[in-house]
Amino acid sequence: MLIAMMATPVAARPHGSASDSGTPPPLVAELQAIAGKAHVLWRFDELRSYEYDGSIDVGHPDAVVLVGSRQEVVEVVRLARRYGKPIVARGAGTGLSGGAVLSRGGIAIGFSRLRRIIDIDVLNQRAVCEPGVVNLDLTKAASRHGLYYAPDPSSQAACTLGGNVAENSGGAHCLAYGVTTNHVVGLELVLADGSTVRVGGAAPDVPGYDLTGLVVGSEGTFAVVTEVTVRLMRVQEGVRTLLASFDTIDDASRATSAIVAAGIIPAALEMMDRLTIQALQRAGHKGLPSEAQAVLLVELEGMAEGLAEQVAAVQGLLLESGASEIRAAQTADERDRLWKARKGALGALGQIKPNYYLQDGVIPRSRLLEVLRTVSEVSERYGLPIANVFHAGDGNLHPCIVFDQRVHGETDRVVAAGADILRKCVELGGTLSGEHGIGLEKQAYLPWVFSPVDIAAMRAAHRAFDPDDRLNPGKIFPQPGAPSAGAAQTADSRQEES
């Protein structure tokens, strides 16, 4: 993900396709007939904020329709089919790999109106939701029953369940409880031909192929999701949150590997390095150790009896690995403050430079030390500061390259540096993305991990769902004629052209 925090990148838009005034084009008129005039956006200015998601990639929709029901989704999909237009489903647009960007134009189906929690079945610990339900809103609604929805992406206050399903989103607490696919049990889908299908369901082990499991993480290319059934978890009895400081990032890496190797699976195990801590301090976050080169945020959950033992064991491992200080959050307030710092870390990096490029790579957890050394070498080689703020316990890196895109050529160097880090992840037995997805950003890298035969199998699965390639086309797979280093690498030159 490339983020422009000050300058807004502007892409070349098609000319003359949608005028600012006058009668709407026929496609728009038909969309208005389906969803109502107020819910169809088509004028130049209305569409601007729908050209982006959380990545830098840009695409211009023909129109955006904010649907109010499943039936409207069905009609829009049929209409798009008739016009030969792509369909891209869109939640909150927080995705980080270009998944919601209409790189080939077409109709964006916005789900911001479908945000009803249809049912919370407390006894069976299931919830049925419309796809526009915001992730955190579900947890808030479930919390009065002592339940919560476990996957918690950093954007959980904005991102939607529909988007989470598309991207198979993760989050800080996925270490112990798994990612979206482990919590989604059923879906209602509208297929590219306009038919509606239910897959999976609240009951377990539905006979037949696990279509739910295939659709989760398919980045909106298999079907438009119109309803999501998830499982909810019981809030644990106790929680302890520790912040351990280290004089070297190597020690923090060793501590992480030592905890996992000891068979302790914390609810969360997050690392932040010195650059991140400095940025957070500049942004006004208090209570972080100024001298530390790295901190680990360790959260342990469970019954009172086991918790005390676990905390003692983790503290022992942290100290053995060279922790210079361990603080325990004494109150819920202190815990919240630590998590606010963690979840606000990316925003705070704007204190260092105007732009950041957030990478997402995964490595086997025992290889943390090596990969972080590579990150540091890459930083020196390219002369670019790189902050590390990530899910250490999962081996899910988020090196964050801070830069200034106004400096000529810097964006290209940033993308090249990101690619070098990803290459190392793959070399160490890891992969290209743990939770952000491939989308447009990493499609050119897909052959680093999958052979043509593997990719052909993925395309075959796609054909079973969307044989005419109508749903979110142009994502995930390397595109013929695209530059070898991927869409992201061209971002800088695209901006300069416009």
Partner 1 sequence: MLQTERSFGVAGLSPSEVARPETPDAVAAALGAAAAAGKAVVPWGSGTKQGWGNAPRRYDLALDLSALDRVLEYEPADLVITTEAGIPLGALQRRLAESGQFLALDPPYAATSTLGGTLATNASGPSRLLYGTARDLVLGMKVANPAGELVKSGGKVVKNVVGYDLNKMHIGGLGTLGVMVEVTLKVHPLPAAEATAGATFDDLAAAVAAAGRIYRSVLYPRAVELVRAPLPGMPAGNAWGVLVWCAGSPATVERQVRDATAWCQEGGARESLRLDGDDHRALWAAVSEFGRDLPESTVLAKLTAVPTRIPDLAAAAARAHPDGAPPLIAHAGSGVLYAALPGATVPVLQALTRAAAALGGAAVLEAAPPAVREALDVWGPTRDDFPLMQALKDQFDPQGTLNPGRFLGRL
Site for partner 1 in 384-413 (CB under 8 A): 391, 394-396
In the complex with partner 1, which residue's Cβ is closer, 19 or 124?
124
In the complex with partner 1, which residue's Cβ is closer, 33 or 457?
457
Site for partner 1 in 466-485 (CB under 8 A): 476
Alpha-carbon span 225 to 190, nearest angstrom: 6
User: Cβ 477 to partner 1, closest distance in Å?
Assistant: 9
Applying CB under 8 A, which of residues 207, 284, 480, 481 lies at the interface with partner 1? 207
Asked if 257 touches partner 1 (CB under 8 A), the answer is yes
Site for partner 1 in 113-152 (CB under 8 A): 121, 123-126
User: Cβ 189 to partner 1, closest distance in Å?
Assistant: 8
Asked if 216 touches partner 1 (CB under 8 A), the answer is yes
Task: Give the per-residue contact string, 224-243, with partner 1 (x = CB under 8 A; - = no).
Answer: ----------xxxx------
In the complex with partner 1, which residue's Cβ is closer, 235 or 326?
235
User: Cβ 446 to partner 1, closest distance in Å?
Assistant: 6
Task: Give the bridge partners for 476, in sequence order.
Answer: none
Neighbouring residues of 86: CB distance < 8 A, sequence distance ≥ 6: 80, 102, 104, 105, 106, 107, 470, 471, 472, 473, 474
Stretch that binds partner 1, among 131-139, 306-314, 342-350, 403-411 (CB under 8 A): 306-314
Site for partner 1 in 164-193 (CB under 8 A): 167-168, 170, 174, 178-179, 181-182, 191
Which residue in 434, 259, 271, 247 sits closest to 341, CA to CA?
A: 271
**CA-based end-to-end distance of the chain:** 20
User: Cβ 11 to partner 1, closest distance in Å?
Assistant: 26
Which residue in 437, 443, 448 sits closest to 477, CA to CA?
A: 443
Q: Within a 13 Å sphere around the CA of 273, how many CA atoms are in the beta-carbon half?
A: 23
Size of interface with partner 1, in residues (CB under 8 A):
87
Q: How far is CA 139 from CA 52, 156, 165, 382, in A?
A: 27, 10, 16, 42
Applying CB under 8 A, which of residues 7, 118, 203, 407 lies at the interface with partner 1? 203
Write the burial class of residue 74 (CB in 10 Å: 0-12 exposed, 13-18 middle, 19+ buried): buried
What is the helix (H) or strand (E) element at residue 338, kind and residue range?
helix 332-343
- The DSSP code for 489 is G
User: Cβ 150 to partner 1, closest distance in Å?
Assistant: 12
In the complex with partner 1, which residue's Cβ is closer, 296 or 432?
432
Asked if 320 touches partner 1 (CB under 8 A), the answer is no
Write the burial class of residue 37 (CB in 10 Å: 0-12 exposed, 13-18 middle, 19+ buried): exposed
Site for partner 1 in 440-469 (CB under 8 A): 442, 446, 449-451, 453-455, 457-458, 460-465
Q: Is 297 helix (H, G, I), strand (E, B) or coil?
A: strand
Alpha-carbon span 163 to 90, nearest angstrom: 7
Helices (H) and strands (E) in the chain, counts: 17, 21
Pairing of strands 107-110, 184-190: unpaired
Applying CB under 8 A, which of residues 204, 284, 480, 481 lies at the interface with partner 1? 204
- Contact 400/375 with Cβ under 8 angstroms? no
Applying CB under 8 A, which of residues 14, 208, 480, 481 lies at the interface with partner 1? 208
User: Cβ 284 to partner 1, closest distance in Å?
Assistant: 31
CB count within 10 Å of CB 487 equals 25
Alpha-carbon span 341 to 347, nearest angstrom: 10
In the complex with partner 1, which residue's Cβ is closer, 87 or 269?
269
Applying CB under 8 A, which of residues 7, 10, 29, 197 lies at the interface with partner 1? 197
Applying CB under 8 A, which of residues 117, 206, 369, 485 lies at the interface with partner 1? 206
User: Cβ 149 to partner 1, closest distance in Å?
Assistant: 16
Pairing of strands 184-190, 63-66: unpaired
Applying CB under 8 A, which of residues 132, 289, 437, 473 lies at the interface with partner 1? 437
